Amino acid sequence: MPELPEVETTLRGISPYLQDQTITRIDVRQPKLRWPVEDEIQSLVGHRVRRLSRRSKYILVETDAGMAIWHLGMSGSLRLVDPGTPLAKHDHIDWHLSGGKVLRYHDPRRFGALLWVAPGQTSEHLTHLGPEPLSDAFDDEHLFNRSRGKTQAVKTFIMDGRVVVGVGNIYANESLFLAGIRPQTPAGKISKARYQRLTETIRQVLAAAIEQGGTTLRDFVGGDGKPGYFAQQLYVYGRGGESCKNCDATLKEIRQGQRATVYCPQCQR
């Protein structure tokens, strides 16, 4: 599933080709995505893209006729192609742009979405979200205060988009390892000092992934549009049963919220 760094890289990859371009045509070949694509999306045709941004894992495209919200789901991707480029299976939506390119949405599992929001309105999908992890609103005070009295595991706590957005499974595993915190520790039992360290490692891991994603930007034009997970050093994720890179202890793997969790029984407590 694309996580925050992958979505941010997607945004940076497509932005130069969409900013200030007019959407001249929208072809919806498969409207049955995670949420049905509404006919109102066609109201964007003939209007200029004024601003692109990201909120959590959503890509926001603003025009005078309303806002489109892309969500990549589990297997979705966006790429720029030339008009007339043959369609592949699962190429569900095309946006034709005045600059001559086509923004094409590909999604084998169809868990992604293209939503429409009327001018001056907000989306219910955005209103409940917590702070961005790389913003000033996200700090140790925020995590510490939100965690008081909570018995849920700290890993599921930091993956809750109402607490902080965009800390997906891969980056939660890595951040907790670097902070020295066991993922199953109750969130409410972690000290403020340890939350300060966790806040730092979440920022560190996500910022590094976004920075490394810059090398994939060329893939958004004529490529597959899938940045994938970046070539960064993973300390624990996907390494259950292997040796810890810090202490050589055997990494343990458990399931939390139907997700794989890997941790070091010696480095994390």
Distance CA 213, CA 103 (A): 20
Query: Pick from 94, 127, 160: which residue ends a domain?
Result: 127
Query: Pick from 62, 96, 127: which residue ends a domain?
Result: 127
Looking at the structure, tell me whether residues 103 and 161 fall in a common domain.
no
Looking at the structure, tell me whether residues 12 and 119 fall in a common domain.
yes
Looking at the structure, tell me whether residues 25 and 118 fall in a common domain.
yes
Amino acid sitting at position 16 = P
* Residues 134-171 as b or e (16 or more Cβ within 10 Å = b): eeeebbbebbbebbeebeebbbbbbbbeebbbbbbbbb
3-class secondary structure, 208: helix
Residue 89 annotated as part of some ligand binding site: no
pLDDT score at 212: 77
Residues catalogued as catalytic? 2-3, 57, 259
Q: What is the pLDDT of residues 144-202, one digit of tens each?
A: 999 999 999 999 999 999 999 999 898 999 999 999 999 999 999 999 999 999 999 99
Q: How many CB atoms lie within 10 A of CB 65?
A: 19
Residue 215's CATH number: 1.10.8.50
Does 268 reside within a domain? Answer: no
Looking at the structure, tell me whether residues 172 and 213 fall in a common domain.
yes
Q: Residue 233 — pLDDT band, cuts 50, 70, 90? A: confident
Q: Residue 29 — pLDDT band, cuts 50, 70, 90? A: very high
Does 239 reside within a domain? Answer: yes
Does 132 reside within a domain? Answer: no
pLDDT score at 215: 46
3-class secondary structure, 80: strand
Distance CA 42, CA 28 (A): 9
Enclosing domain of residue 199: 140-263
Distance CA 135, CA 116 (A): 26
Distance CA 168, CA 177 (A): 14
Looking at the structure, tell me whether residues 256 and 160 fall in a common domain.
yes
CA distances from 85 to 50, 80, 82, 221, 223 (A): 26, 10, 6, 12, 12
Does 269 reside within a domain? Answer: no
Distance CA 123, CA 36 (A): 15
pLDDT score at 268: 98
Q: What is the pLDDT of residues 241-251, one digit of tens each?
A: 999 999 999 99
Retrieve residue 262's tokens.
């890997």
Q: What is the pLDDT of residues 87-134, one digit of tens each?
A: 999 999 999 999 999 999 999 999 999 999 999 999 999 999 999 999
Looking at the structure, tell me whether residues 122 and 149 fall in a common domain.
no
pLDDT score at 2: 76
Looking at the structure, tell me whether residues 159 and 187 fall in a common domain.
yes
Looking at the structure, tell me whether residues 156 and 97 fall in a common domain.
no
Distance CA 39, CA 36 (A): 9
Q: What is the pLDDT of residues 50-84, one digit of tens each?
A: 999 999 999 999 999 999 999 999 889 999 999 99
Number of domains in the chain: 2
CA distances from 133 to 60, 163, 177, 206 (A): 18, 10, 17, 8
pLDDT score at 219: 53
Residue 150 annotated as part of some ligand binding site: yes
pLDDT score at 109: 93
Inter-axis angle of helices 169-179 and 192-213, nearest 10 = 130
Residue 37's CATH number: 3.20.190.10
Residue 71 annotated as part of some ligand binding site: no
Does residue 1 surpass a pLDDT of 50?
yes
